[in-house]
Amino acid sequence: MNDITLDDLASLPRPDHLRELFATDPGRAERYVTAAGDLRIDWSKASIDDPTLDVLLALAESSGVEARRDAMFAGDHINVTEDRAVGHAALRMPAGSSFEVDGENVVPDVHEVLDAMGAFADRIRSDESITHVVNIGIGGSDLGPAMAYRAMRAFRHDRIRCSFVSNIGGDDIASVLADCDPASTLFVVASKTFGTIETLTNARTARTWLIDALGEAAVADHFVAVSTNAERVAEFGIDTGNMFGFWDWVGGRYSVDSAIGLSLMIAIGPVGFREFLGGFHVIDEHFRTAPLRENAPVLMALLGVWYANGLGHDTKAVLPYANDLARFPAYLQQLDMESNGKSVDLDGHRVTHDTGPIIWGEPGTNGQHAFYQLIHQGTRIIPCDFIGFAKGNHSYQEHHDLLMANLFAQSEALAFGRSNDAEPHRNFEGDRPNTVILAERLTPSVLGQLIALYEHVVHVQGTIWGVDSYDQWGVELGKELANQITPELTGEAKPDDHDSATNALISWYRTHR
Ligand code: G6Q
């Protein structure tokens, strides 16, 4: 057989309706379940059958999925446009193990930073003076800790709370500062580059606010930095003794498990944070060693490729049945869309197939009362990932039973539907694919496992689509133009070189500001 290509997928026969697939294959519900760490991934209600799966596995092989996975773990520069290794797996390796980047084992450095973070977090947790930690960062330096802080509600220190400021819009910092007491607030300025305008602007505002209240000398006790750029941290006025470092081989959206997770570590403690990292590592090892046919990230990635390139589905909904995971869809939006939202391949050629899907979602059951209508009866097919837990992180059993009943009901209703020829508006066609990911309980380890699962899904899909999942050049043009337009708004520079519509927007703003 010739190598399968992505272009072949659209001409493959479509699998039967899920009703047929279950009716003709009594073993489907058991066979199409994959275990990875503590996760039970049930993809039996995916629109797929054995022949299609065989083709997809062949595609994974011919696309070099194993070789590229191994190259990542070997520290090769698989981020080609930035000529960097992709080393986030090193951040969660146990002490004493090895991950080489450019000929050097980086694991000892990782643990040195983790130890320093741990000592600092312990000090904050035991010293009564700090009760509010404000993380100032954006993108990868915000979404991970903000999502995980919320997800780990049940594991947090009871005296210390964290807030997250990211947006350049002053309402973000204003609302957080309004709720802060200078004497008991610690600011964590989290920026890999320490050159991001949003973060530096917010950090300067916070610094001025603190100095106005407590004087310049207070900065040393109330500001720490997380960055790869010591020089800029010092320039900003934070002593590099109060800085926690990481490395250019950690991508922003892959950095919640680096020092970028400092606020999370303060909240859940160094022990909880190590459990979180341990969860990632369990899935890393699964991904690294499991055969493709039993490899959860590979299988989930293949389903996504099949949906995108075989069946033409443009979006995917991630629907956590845990309100604590409310920010998880937003986190995955960045992880997936910034990684695989690309249209040139590794050789710089325009791709001829669709790449990353549009990721979206909200927690159940809220979404059920909002957009699920379209998922059940709309004209578009939206593959869904449901995420749920055997136990809730609270004592309200009745609530949890109701929640999980809803998850299972949605999965069943979408897949099998219910025919009603007499009343078409009550007809549920079914055959709407979904995957159900379950675990015992949302713990730090399980959260790490979920994140690592999706990280590797993105990696495998990027490999098959032939794109660089680890760069993000698409965010540059907007930044450059914003830098040009800023002085034009304030009158320091004349509007220059724009199209007529943008000129009109600028002039409207200058009149009305
Ligand atoms: C993530 C992106 C991006 C980045 C932010 C913040 O992968 O690179 O979201 O995290 O732009 O960058 P800094 O951490 O450098 O401030």
pLDDT band (50, 70, 90) for residue 138: very high
| Ligand 1 contact, 139 CB (< 6 A) | yes
Q: How large is the C-alpha radius of gyration of the chain?
A: 24
CA of 83 to the centre of ligand 1 (A): 17
Instruction: Count the neighbouring beta carbons within 10 Å of the beta carbon of residue 497.
Output: 10
Q: How far is CA 103 from CA 69, 85, 100, 237, 250, in A?
A: 18, 11, 6, 34, 17
If you ran DSSP here, which 8-state letter would residue 470 be given? T
Residue nearest atom 11 in ligand 1 by C-alpha distance: 139
Atom of ligand 1 nearest to the CA of 138: 6
Report the C-alpha gap between 503 and 22 in whole angstroms.
59
Cis check: omega of the bond before 365, within 30 degrees of 0: yes
- Listed in sequence order, the residues at least 6 apart from 452 whose beta carbon sits closer than 8 Å to its beta carbon are 92, 279, 280, 281, 282, 283, 284, 287
| Ligand 1 contact, 228 CB (< 6 A) | no
For the stretch 310-365, pLDDT in tens is 999 999 999 999 999 999 999 999 999 999 999 999 999 999 999 999 999 999 99
Q: Which pLDDT value is given to residue 513? A: 94
Terminal CA-to-CA distance of the chain, rounded, Å?
A: 66
| Ligand 1 contact, 138 CB (< 6 A) | yes
CA of 139 to the centre of ligand 1 (A): 5
| Ligand 1 contact, 140 CB (< 6 A) | yes
CA of 138 to the centre of ligand 1 (A): 6
For the stretch 170-186, pLDDT in tens is 999 999 999 999 999 99
Contact assessment for residue 278 and residue 260, using Cβ atoms and an 8 Å cutoff: no
| Ligand 1 contact, 252 CB (< 6 A) | yes
Report the C-alpha gap between 79 and 101 in whole angstroms.
13
Phi-psi region of 390 (alpha: psi -120 to 50; beta: other; left: phi over 0): alpha
Atom of ligand 1 nearest to the CA of 140: 10
CA of 247 to the centre of ligand 1 (A): 13
Q: For residues 50-60, give the mean pLDDT.
A: 97
Taking the CA atoms of 180, 181, 185 and 189 in sequence, report the sign of the dihedral they define. positive
Report the C-alpha gap between 257 and 386 in whole angstroms.
24
Atom of ligand 1 nearest to the CA of 137: 16
Residue nearest atom 16 in ligand 1 by C-alpha distance: 191
Atom of ligand 1 nearest to the CA of 199: 16
Q: Which of 192, 336, 337 to mutate to test the pocket of ligand 1 (most atoms within 8 A of CB)?
A: 192
pLDDT band (50, 70, 90) for residue 88: very high
| Ligand 1 contact, 411 CB (< 6 A) | no
Contact assessment for residue 279 and residue 37, using Cβ atoms and an 8 Å cutoff: yes
Q: What is the DSSP string of 58-119?
A: HHHHHTTHHHHHHHHHTT---BTTTTB---GGGGGPPTT---EETTEE-HHHHHHHHHHHHH
Q: What is the DSSP string of 209-229?
A: HHHHHH-GGGHHHHEEEEES-
Q: Which pLDDT value is given to residue 495? A: 80
pLDDT band (50, 70, 90) for residue 113: very high
Q: Which pLDDT value is given to residue 2? A: 65
pLDDT exceeding 90 applies to what percent of the chain? 98
Q: Which pLDDT value is given to residue 81? A: 96
| Ligand 1 contact, 472 CB (< 6 A) | yes
| Ligand 1 contact, 227 CB (< 6 A) | no
When the pLDDT of each residue in the chain is averaged and rounded to a whole number, the result is 97
Residues involved in catalysis: 338, 369, 479
Residue 1 has pLDDT above 80, yes or no: no
* Phi, psi for residue 313 in degrees, rounded to 5: -85, 130
Considering only CA atoms, which of 113, 110, 137 is closest in space to residue 191?
137
Considering only CA atoms, which of 110, 90, 396 is closest in space to residue 244?
110
| Ligand 1 contact, 455 CB (< 6 A) | no
Contact assessment for residue 80 and residue 337, using Cβ atoms and an 8 Å cutoff: no
If you ran DSSP here, which 8-state letter would residue 190 be given? E
| Ligand 1 contact, 191 CB (< 6 A) | yes
CA of 259 to the centre of ligand 1 (A): 14
Report helix, strand or coil for 405: helix
In the block, which residue shows the tokens 């450019």? 102
pLDDT exceeding 70 applies to what percent of the chain? 100
Q: Which of 147, 253, 262 to mutate to test the pocket of ligand 1 (most atoms within 8 A of CB)?
A: 253
Report the C-alpha gap between 215 and 118 in whole angstroms.
28
CB burial string 402-418: b at 16+ within 10 A, e below: ebbebbeebbebbbbbe
pTM of the model: 0.98
For the stretch 282-296, pLDDT in tens is 999 999 999 999 999
Q: Which of 86, 193, 469 to mutate to test the pocket of ligand 1 (most atoms within 8 A of CB)?
A: 193
Q: Which pLDDT value is given to residue 494? A: 85
CA of 23 to the centre of ligand 1 (A): 48
Count of CA atoms in the C-beta half-sphere (13 A) of 378: 10
CA of 192 to the centre of ligand 1 (A): 7
CA of 382 to the centre of ligand 1 (A): 29
Q: How far is CA 81 from CA 331, 356, 386, 498, in A?
A: 24, 18, 34, 29
Residue nearest atom 10 in ligand 1 by C-alpha distance: 140
Residue nearest atom 2 in ligand 1 by C-alpha distance: 252
CA of 336 to the centre of ligand 1 (A): 14
Strands 100-101 and 39-42 come out as unpaired
Report the C-alpha gap between 118 and 135 in whole angstroms.
17
For the stretch 239-298, pLDDT in tens is 999 999 999 999 999 999 999 999 999 999 999 999 999 999 999 999 999 999 999 999
| Ligand 1 contact, 141 CB (< 6 A) | yes
Atom of ligand 1 nearest to the CA of 339: 7
